[in-house]
Structure 1
Amino acid sequence: MDGRFSLLGVLACPRCDRAPLEEAEGRHRCDACQIDFPSIDGIPWLFAEPAATLREWRSRADFTLQTLADEHRQLLATAKTGDVGDLTRQRLTAHADATRDHADRLAALLAPLKLEPLTARFESNLAFRTRLPSDQGLMTYAYNIHRDWSWGKEENEASFAIVREALAGASPGKTLVLGAGAGRLAYDVHMRTDAEVTVVHDFNPFLLLLARRITAGESIELYEFPIAPKSIREHAVLRKLAAEQPCRDGLHYVLADAHRPPFAKGSFDTVLTPWLIDILPERFGTLCKRVNALLADGGRWINFGSLSFHLGDPALRYTKEECAEIIAESGFDAPLFTETSMPYLCSPASRHGRQEQVLGWTAVKQRDVPKAPRHKALPDWIVLGKDPVPLLDSFHMAAASTRLRAYILSLIDGRRSLNDIVALFDQQKIMTHEEAENAIRGLLVKLYEASQRR
């Protein structure tokens, strides 16, 4: 541990914000909440509901391994059919072998999560949703690990160049990379600047378990499965993931939710948020307040990404000019913007890749602002289960749609034709003939296409 810095000194409870936490036997404890936060392979696990979140990530990890096992079986079964060519059979067999080997490698890497086999069938888990973002799975950023630690020198250099320009020769001091992903930018900042300390934060245990081992000097091999492989040999590529050299002292890892960053107020001189705005389902103004609270007076916020907002309300999909206004209202000076064109996920084994127009900014904290509201992932009527479930319009529509879908599926018995099912709708006056035909055919098309993708 860096002699000038103690990670424990900046950690705070993600439930009540109390700092400092107590540390004993590899765990952190908040006496106010009377709750213990475990460590996973030496990385503090500081989620507001640590046990529940650990169960969810274990479930996602188990589901990932089940998915790979199911894919292995399907690939082999397809390879054994008589209507595929020799080259196709070779490709499918090689892909199946790589998938099984990849699953074994992942299982070893994820061992610190102490996985337990799921008892539910594979199909049953397809409908399961956890409190973690459904679009941010364990392997969502699998391509990024290869970019970070294998073939992505040009992309990594472009990202670091944005940070270097933003620092303008100044020291980043105590630095937090919020939403660090596979950790390459944090490593570069720590190794190529005079950062006093760099704290690497993410909520995905796969990414940080991997990054921690690589930056400590280990070499790890995992498969890349390119989106659009350039040749039959590049359908599954075993990549060596490694850093140029082990990281110097002062690089620390923390697993936590960016909505509830577990750090004491004013702990950092620099906060980096690379590509974070694009994935957080939260109002931009709220994020600005959270970053403000993490920074010391005069601290620097460096952000870059595509500035893509996915919130449903069009009023919240801000432009650069609107962001500048909100940043200034959140206790920062006027942000300094940069525009950069850079490659993004351009794997040498894939025909898929793009140029990204990246917006960056640097903003300096000038004053404190009122604390951001405490994040709630779900409403109390779901979490506590005591209040009535509100009859939301979306629930009412979903119920009607589900009943209709279920009725159509109940009529599929292997004997009735599409016209037979439409005739039943006619007889029962559920829909007009044309409406029923369009609805039923549309559903069957979706189900059929899903079966072909499967």
Structure 2
Amino acid sequence: MPISDADIEEEQRHFANVVTTFRKYVPYHLAANNRRRKDLFTLPKADQDLLERLGYKQKLDEVDKAILANEVFLSKIVVDPEIFGAEDEGEDDHMPEEEDEADNPEPSSIGSGEHSSQSHSHSSGSRTHSHSHSHTHSQPHSHSSPKQYKPTEFDMDKLRSTLKQFVRDWSAEGKEEREASYGPMKDALLAHFSDIPKEERRNFRVLVPGAGLGRLAYDVASLGFACQGNEFSHYMLLASFLILNKTDRPDMHTIYPYVHSFSNITDRASMLRAVTIPDVEPTLPPGSAFSLVAGDFEEIYGGESDANEPQAGVWDAIMTCFFIDTAKNIVNYLRIIHAILAPGGVWINLELSTGPLLWHWENNNTNDPSVELDLVEVKELAKMVGFEIENERTIDATYTTNSQGMLGYTYRTAFWTARKKI
């Protein structure tokens, strides 16, 4: 089904709103921190004095400094959003009144725009990653100005989650959590192609849908495979562009990902600590084949929208990590995965199995359809579609957890490999 000009305009509007969210990070969160100061002055003077002796006001000042330091990093992400095909309307007049921004946030809207589709390609080669980003349809001449948009708490939560995702995917601190999930998947990939010499891995194509900030896809490309990641979130796409294209040394950036909440914190040092990223130089050897494609998984890989690049049967492996529960129609997701795998190809999957799956569209308020299956049903469905499931096991894993915090969730994830029946 062709994408209409209205769809394209909606996508551009959403992208502009995401850029605005990045740019309004500081006033929003400084206002939230200033609310704590106002609350402090509502207390009896004797209570204020005790908190003064604890250094509470000083902690608030340190949080302000960390928020301002985060802005230095976040501003690099949106310094030139026009590379993604959007007009940059500047940063003037984007500073809202502090009290309005944090004390009266607008109601959140689940799924607001995040499900809009794009079809832009990001390609990276050898030592530097050169991304191209172009619409496949004509662009409208008008869309909502970023200056007219007031980010909601839902928007800001997406942005805060992106900072924590940087810790998971691109910091030394996140290595243990990252390897608990990505490690078994990479091991399974190497085991499947164990009879292939390393120098010939570039002849085998691996797809990573839901690539997020791109670390798993980058690691697969580092192993020598031809790897493509796919991602639809503008937050993730903008952030991964900075890491893969504008970062040329380890520990180049410093962020403070845990300063936004005072809950479940052992001490102020754990909340205020800096995290440097990336933990590696994010470049690949000459001749590496690595790309990121922006857009909706079903639209890009589920049809033949690009006659010059048919998808059916061309992927030797597909690796899905915390991805299949993003489906509105899980049947179609599995059908597409099966269709685009080569005969005998392998699907390597790691999925949250609590709840029993964390279906992203369950109970949504946007009238989007959602089909939720339990884990047994998902595996039975995979067999019906044409997969032979192997190597099943449960792996304990965390996700963007503050390693020094007092609260953390351990998920009993379901892991398997599945061969496409010939």
Question: Is the structural similarity TM-score above 0.5?
Answer: yes
In structure 2, the gaps of 5 or more residues are 83-87, 116-153, 194-200, 302-308, 365-369
Farther off after superposition, 198-207 or 110-119: 110-119
Secondary structure in structure 2 of the residue aligned to 1:260: helix
Separation of aligned partners in 2, 1:139 and 1:176: 27
Superposed displacement of residue 49, structure 1: 4.2
The aligned residue for residue 272 of structure 2 is: 236
Farther off after superposition, 173-182 or 81-90: 81-90
Identical-pair percentage? 20
Separation of aligned partners in 2, 1:325 and 1:154: 32
The aligned residue for residue 189 of structure 2 is: 167
Superposed displacement of residue 201, structure 1: 1.6
Does 2:305 correspond to 1:275? Answer: no
Deviations 1:346-404 (A, max 9, x none): 4333223232211012122236xxxxxxxxxxxxxxxxxxxxxxxxxxxxxxxxxxxxx
Does structure 2 conserve the Cα–Cα contact (< 8 Å) formed by 1:271 and 1:295? yes
Superposed displacement of residue 77, structure 1: 5.9
The aligned residue for residue 358 of structure 1 is: 413
The aligned residue for residue 194 of structure 1 is: 224
Separation of aligned partners in 1, 2:79 and 2:8: 18
1:207-286 counterparts in 2 under 5 A? 207-215=236-244, 217-218=248-249, 219-225=252-258, 228-245=264-281, 246-248=283-285, 249-261=288-300, 264-266=310-312, 267-278=314-325, 280-286=326-332
Separation of aligned partners in 1, 2:63 and 2:14: 29
Secondary structure in structure 2 of the residue aligned to 1:106: helix
Counterpart amino acid of residue 175 in structure 1: V
Farther off after superposition, 179-188 or 121-130: 121-130
- Aligned CA distance change for structure 1 residues 252 and 189 (closer, same or farther; 3 Å): same
Separation of aligned partners in 1, 2:253 and 2:9: 29
Q: Tell me which of 185, 189, 195 is aligned to 2:216.
A: 185
1:3-402 counterparts in 2 under 5 A? 49-76=7-34, 78-79=36-37, 82=41, 83=43, 84=48, 85-86=51-52, 87-114=55-82, 115-116=88-89, 126-127=106-107, 129=109, 130-132=112-114, 137-150=158-171, 151-167=173-189, 169-171=191-193, 173-191=204-222, 193-195=223-225, 197-215=226-244, 217-218=248-249, 219-225=252-258, 228-245=264-281, 246-248=283-285, 249-261=288-300, 264-266=310-312, 267-278=314-325, 280-307=326-353, 308-310=357-359, 311=362, 316-366=371-421
Secondary structure in structure 2 of the residue aligned to 1:140: helix
- Aligned CA distance change for structure 1 residues 213 and 109 (closer, same or farther; 3 Å): closer
Does structure 2 conserve the Cα–Cα contact (< 8 Å) formed by 1:182 and 1:207? yes
Superposed displacement of residue 176, structure 1: 1.1
Secondary structure in structure 1 of the residue aligned to 2:300: coil
Separation of aligned partners in 2, 1:331 and 1:181: 28
Separation of aligned partners in 2, 1:153 and 1:56: 32
Superposed displacement of residue 274, structure 1: 0.5
Secondary structure in structure 2 of the residue aligned to 1:322: helix
Separation of aligned partners in 2, 1:332 and 1:264: 22
Separation of aligned partners in 2, 1:107 and 1:58: 15
Pairwise CA RMSD of aligned residues?
Answer: 3.4
- Aligned CA distance change for structure 1 residues 175 and 105 (closer, same or farther; 3 Å): same
Deviations 1:58-109 (A, max 9, x none): 2133135435313213424643764543311011111122213312421221
Separation of aligned partners in 2, 1:277 and 1:34: 27
Separation of aligned partners in 1, 2:406 and 2:352: 22
Does structure 1 conserve the Cα–Cα contact (< 8 Å) formed by 2:352 and 2:358? no
Does structure 2 conserve the Cα–Cα contact (< 8 Å) formed by 1:144 and 1:345? yes
Farther off after superposition, 100-109 or 72-81: 72-81
Separation of aligned partners in 1, 2:108 and 2:318: 35
Secondary structure in structure 1 of the residue aligned to 2:411: strand
Farther off after superposition, 74-83 or 325-334: 74-83
Counterpart amino acid of residue 251 in structure 1: F
Superposed displacement of residue 316, structure 1: 4.3
In structure 1, the gaps of 5 or more residues are 1-14, 17-32, 36-47, 368-454
Secondary structure in structure 2 of the residue aligned to 1:111: coil
Separation of aligned partners in 2, 1:236 and 1:166: 38
Does structure 2 conserve the Cα–Cα contact (< 8 Å) formed by 1:212 and 1:253? no
Does structure 1 conserve the Cα–Cα contact (< 8 Å) formed by 2:208 and 2:318? yes
Between the two structures, name the one with larger relative contact order (CA 8 Å, sep ≥ 6). 2
Separation of aligned partners in 2, 1:128 and 1:231: 31
Does structure 2 conserve the Cα–Cα contact (< 8 Å) formed by 1:187 and 1:215? no
Separation of aligned partners in 1, 2:8 and 2:279: 30
Does structure 2 conserve the Cα–Cα contact (< 8 Å) formed by 1:337 and 1:362? yes
Secondary structure in structure 2 of the residue aligned to 1:333: strand
Separation of aligned partners in 2, 1:330 and 1:299: 14
- Aligned CA distance change for structure 1 residues 112 and 258 (closer, same or farther; 3 Å): farther
Farther off after superposition, 138-147 or 179-188: 138-147
Separation of aligned partners in 1, 2:218 and 2:72: 27
Superposed displacement of residue 182, structure 1: 1.8
User: Number of paired residues?
Assistant: 322
